[in-house]
Amino acid sequence: MKRSEFLVFGRPAIEEAEIEAVARTMRSGWLGTGPRVAEFEDTFRGYTGAEHALALNSCTAGLHLALLCLELEPGDEVITTPLTFCATANAIIHAGGRPVFADVEPGSMNIDPARIEAALSARTRAIVPVHFAGRPCDMDAIMAIGKRHDLRVIEDAAHAIESAYKGRKIGAIGDATVFSFYVTKNIVTGEGGMVTTNRQAWAERIKVLGLHGMGKDAWKRYQDEGFRHYDVLYPGFKYNMMDIQAAIGIEQMKRIVAYRARRQAIWNRYNEAFAGLPLILPAAPEPDTVHALHLYTPLLDLARVNITRDELQRRLHERNIGTGVHFTALHLYSYYRNTFGYKPGDFPHARFVSERTLSLPLSARLTDADVQDVIDAVRSSLS
């Protein structure tokens, strides 16, 4: 019954092509930001259809810089979902804003446009929707609210590289969109992120802020064209991506369709296998959207069992299956509670999910035998 080896949650699919690309980059002698980063940005611009793509060393860095483009003043508010990774809210705080949470819809687990409307104030400056698990948010409704109230929309697309909404790629809709290539994400570079935007001024500012605030193309200062002096325009950050990371990303992007197809097969297999169990399975994707299938997040139906989600996770761990929790709603954590006065009951849908949710392995790397092991372990843990 128990598999012999622990199945690590979110272990990335890495192939020889990436290993060789990294070795080639290292042998080239140019490890830092350079031609591979420029190529990766071009690939991503072409993939999303956005006018600009800026590679950085994380999605968190990208969120921070995109939010700095808002030039927030003390007391300014940014509306986001409580059902996200802490980086989303932290970036708002680091950019000088106050995160204001709006509850999610129970089925999609995405931010509810009606709750955004209810959270608006005279100080609201922007909305940061998160495409949870790769399911696109209701962008028509969110963009319409933005337009009506003159707010910017910065999307957290850490889960949503492949996502599309009504024929448009996520990455070409809001004012800026930020992707992650962290080790567990759909496409990995180890650590890494990308901002896409159609705003030329934002693209230029993000490029400059991401490399110490030095004038653009400062990375070329050691190239063979001869040393160039640079200016410093802002007190910037050290957020640039390395060529070593971009080399991995360029190879990974070649398999983006195949990887998603593999995750779709695993997703379908899970849906079939878990149909009769006390689990609330992920909702079907909305019509005319592409779900990036980043996380498979059933909810443990607490009304039908007498164990907790944590106990289910413990039982799965005992059977050598690694799992995740996406997410504990942010308003339940001490910092946001103590600083912004949130109460556990403030966002009942996000709290409902966070008490029941469990992420099962969904990496394209899983073999059929791995998937069967997960299914067997879930069934025996719930029987």
From the CB of 227, what's the least distance to ligand PLP, in Å? 33
Tell me which of 147, 166, 169, 185 is the catalytic residue.
185
From the CB of 275, what's the least distance to ligand PLP, in Å? 28
- Rule CB under 6 A: is residue 237 a binding residue for ligand PLP? no
From the CB of 18, what's the least distance to ligand PLP, in Å? 18
State the DSSP string of 303-343. GG-SS-HHHHHHHHHHTTB--B-S---GGGSHHHHHHH---
The single residue among 182, 202, 267, 342 that binds ligand PLP, judged by CB under 6 A, is 182
The single residue among 43, 88, 124, 177 that binds ligand PLP, judged by CB under 6 A, is 88
**What one-letter code names the amino acid at 60?**
T
- Rule CB under 6 A: is residue 67 a binding residue for ligand PLP? no
| Token pair belonging to 306 | 């007498």
**What one-letter code names the amino acid at 350?**
A
- Rule CB under 6 A: is residue 202 a binding residue for ligand PLP? no
- Rule CB under 6 A: is residue 77 a binding residue for ligand PLP? no
Dihedral angle, C-alpha 208, 211, 212, 213, nearest 10 °? -10
From the CB of 44, what's the least distance to ligand PLP, in Å? 14
Do β-strands 176-180 and 152-156 pair in parallel, antiparallel, or remain unpaired?
parallel
Q: Is 185 a catalytic residue?
A: yes
Q: Which of 185, 319 has the CB closer to ligand PLP? A: 185
Compute CA 275 distance to the chain's CA centroid, rounded to the nearest angstrom: 28
Q: Which of 60, 289 has the CB closer to ligand PLP? A: 60
- Rule CB under 6 A: is residue 87 a binding residue for ligand PLP? yes
- Rule CB under 6 A: is residue 60 a binding residue for ligand PLP? yes
Q: How many residues bind ligand PLP (CB under 6 A)?
A: 14
Residues 6+ apart with CB under 8 A from 139: 129, 165, 166, 168, 173, 174
The single residue among 84, 108, 124, 359 that binds ligand PLP, judged by CB under 6 A, is 84
Candidates 52-60, 107-115, 212-220, 370-378 — which segment interacts with ligand PLP by CB under 6 A? 52-60
Q: Give me the residue label for tokens 């990455």.
A: 171
Q: Which of 229, 238 has the CB closer to ligand PLP? A: 238
In terms of phi and psi (left: phi > 0; alpha: psi -120 to 50; beta: otherwise), the region of 342 is: beta
Q: Which of 85, 219 has the CB closer to ligand PLP? A: 85
- Rule CB under 6 A: is residue 248 a binding residue for ligand PLP? no
The single residue among 80, 163, 177, 180 that binds ligand PLP, judged by CB under 6 A, is 180
In angstroms, the CA 194 to CA 169 distance is 15
- 100 and 80 Cβ atoms separated by less than 8 Å: yes
| Token pair belonging to 331 | 């308003």
Q: List strand residue ranges (DSSP E) for the chain, in order.
A: 52-56, 77-80, 98-101, 124-128, 152-156, 164-165, 168-169, 176-180, 193-197, 279-280, 289-290, 299-300
The single residue among 7, 130, 242, 292 that binds ligand PLP, judged by CB under 6 A, is 130
From the CB of 285, what's the least distance to ligand PLP, in Å? 18
- Rule CB under 6 A: is residue 270 a binding residue for ligand PLP? no
In angstroms, the CA 66 to CA 25 distance is 29
Residues 6+ apart with CB under 8 A from 236: 208, 209, 210, 211, 212, 213, 214
- Rule CB under 6 A: is residue 59 a binding residue for ligand PLP? yes
Q: Which of 91, 277 has the CB closer to ligand PLP? A: 91
Chain positions 143 to 162 lying near ligand PLP, rule: CB under 6 A, are 156, 158-159
In angstroms, the CA 201 to CA 205 distance is 6
The single residue among 193, 210, 298, 361 that binds ligand PLP, judged by CB under 6 A, is 193
Q: Which of 14, 42, 44 is nearest to 248 (CA)?
A: 14
Residues that bind ligand PLP (CB under 6 A): 58-60, 84-85, 87-88, 130, 156, 158-159, 180, 182, 193
Question: Which residues are known catalytic residues?
Answer: 185
